[in-house]
Amino acid sequence: MKLRFAVIMLLVLGALVLAACSSQETVTTPPEPVDVTLTTTDIAYDKNRIEVVAGRPVSLTLHNAGVLEHDFSIAEMPHSGEVTEDDTEDEMAGHDMSNMPEMDIHVAAPTDQSNTIEFTPTTPGEYEYFCTVAGHKEAGMVGTLVVQAP
């Protein structure tokens, strides 16, 4: 009889513990950024197509392996949150965007250096990226960022 009572009490206690655990709020951790590296040479990107998923942060590192300055720019692309860039303001103070209007996404890298930008695309679609330095886009320094639905 004592054994039966002990088993029943353990079952009841276990059920209460499970009920308490299931009623707690689930904490959602934001997804880790997808790391993308894009290398530039004179005058080209090493990738002309990059695929990412809407709602997932992207950490894009632009590595400039060329002797000219280069950048990665997207004129208009829906995104959430702030676009953050590594600190290279002093090194890129003279960066010439050929009088282009402000870009939604823009990161530049000095010769033989890298710079990283983080952004979260929100709307599926295809978005052209290009280098804003005079003549580079016209010479073929373009690509497509494909944002897929989650």
* CATH code (residue 61): 2.60.40.420
95 residue type, one letter: H
Asked if the structure places residue 22 within a domain, the reply is no
Asked if the structure places residue 26 within a domain, the reply is no
- At 52, is the pLDDT very low, low, confident or very high (cuts 50, 70, 90)? very high
Q: Is the separation of the CB atoms in 117 and 85 below 8 Å?
A: yes
Q: Which domain holds residue 121?
A: 34-148
Asked if the structure places residue 42 within a domain, the reply is yes
Considering the entire predicted model, what is its pTM? 0.74
Query: Among the ranges 10-14, 18-22, 69-73, which has the highest mean pLDDT value?
Result: 69-73
Asked if the structure places residue 103 within a domain, the reply is yes
Asked if the structure places residue 8 within a domain, the reply is no
Q: Into how many domains does the chain fold?
A: 1
- Please report the pLDDT score of residue 77 as a whole number: 96
Asked if the structure places residue 55 within a domain, the reply is yes
Asked if the structure places residue 99 within a domain, the reply is yes
Q: Average pLDDT over the chain, rounded to whole?
A: 85
DSSP 21-60: HHTSPPPPPPPPPEEEEEEEETTEES-SEEEEETTS-EEE
Q: What is the DSSP letter of 101?
A: P
Asked if the structure places residue 3 within a domain, the reply is no
